[in-house]
């Protein structure tokens, strides 16, 4: 799964990396991005990529209240086309989640050691994501997202049995702009073609990352 991650560059750097319009807003670096926070997301409207902020934890458009989003921070790639909450966003509202690392916890001598997992080749990468728009009874529109997960690549398989689906650079455009409607066979072919980026490494970090209240550069310092 993916329950915490990092994106430690500014909005302009993210927009440049993904070929998106530079947004009017700015935000502080996220050294400990957590569910329910407003986080940067790349979507495509027409032929133009946009950098927007969305709430982490997908709230389906048909939901009666937003609390369901707390349980929908991740979507398994193997079943994404079968789950009612994920099926429509998968077909119609795919997105990229900019990141430069994520956290996982491994058992070491009887306790859980937090690890930061990063790319060995590129500073900023992307998680495959889906999003939806929910409108509250008061008329407030909330855009929210979920991160796809998959089986881990060899370099980090010993840490956890799941990992976020990190897209290789040459698969990002296909994820955003691929067909919106498929038959079941085409869906399985598309999902099967999503080989996750594999050049990853992990290093231990402070247990301060266990609390989402902390957000500072020391969280990504090796210990």
Out of 21, 24, 78, 104, the active site residue is: 104
Active site residue 104: yes
Is the distance from CB of 3 to CB of 37 less than 8 angstroms?
no
Out of 2, 44, 95, 172, the active site residue is: 2
Active site residue 95: no
Show the 3-state SS of the chain: CCCCEEECCCHHHHHHHHCEECCCCCCCCEEEECCCCEEEEEEEECCEEEEEEEEECCCCCCCCCHHHHHHCCEEECCCCCCCHHHHHHHHHCEEEEEECEEEEEEEECCEEEEEEEEECCCCCEEEEEEEEEEECCCCCEEEEEEEEEECCCHHHCCCCCCEECEECHHHHHHHHHCCCCCCHHHHHHHHHCCCCCCCEEEEECCHHHHCCCCCCHHHHCCC
Is the distance from CB of 210 to CB of 116 less than 8 angstroms?
no
Active-site residues, by number, are 2, 104
């Amino acid at each position: 799964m993916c329950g915490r991650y990092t994106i430690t560059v500014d909005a302009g750097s993210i927009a440049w990396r993904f070929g998106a319009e530079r947004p009017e807003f700015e935000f502080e670096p996220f050294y400990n991005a957590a569910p329910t926070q407003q986080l940067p997301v790349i979507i495509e409207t027409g032929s133009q990529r946009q950098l927007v902020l969305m709430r982490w934890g997908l709230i389906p458009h048909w939901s009666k209240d937003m609390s369901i989003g707390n349980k929908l921070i991740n979507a398994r790639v193997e079943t994404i086309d079968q789950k009612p909450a994920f099926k429509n966003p998968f077909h119609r509202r795919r997105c990229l989640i900019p990141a430069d690392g994520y956290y996982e916890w491994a058992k070491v001598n009887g306790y859980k050691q937090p690890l930061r997992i990063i790319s060995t080749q590129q500073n900023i990468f992307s998680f495959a994501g889906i999003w939806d728009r929910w409108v509250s009874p008061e008329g407030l529109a909330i855009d929210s997202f979920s991160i796809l997960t998959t089986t881990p690549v060899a370099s980090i398989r010993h840490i956890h049995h799941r990992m976020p689906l990190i897209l290789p650079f040459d698969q990002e455009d296909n994820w955003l702009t691929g067909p919106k409607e498929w038959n079941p066979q085409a869906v399985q072919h598309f999902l099967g073609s999503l080989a996750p980026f594999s050049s990853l490494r992990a290093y231990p970090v402070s247990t301060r990352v266990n609390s989402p209240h902390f957000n500072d550069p020391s969280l990504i310092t090796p210990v």
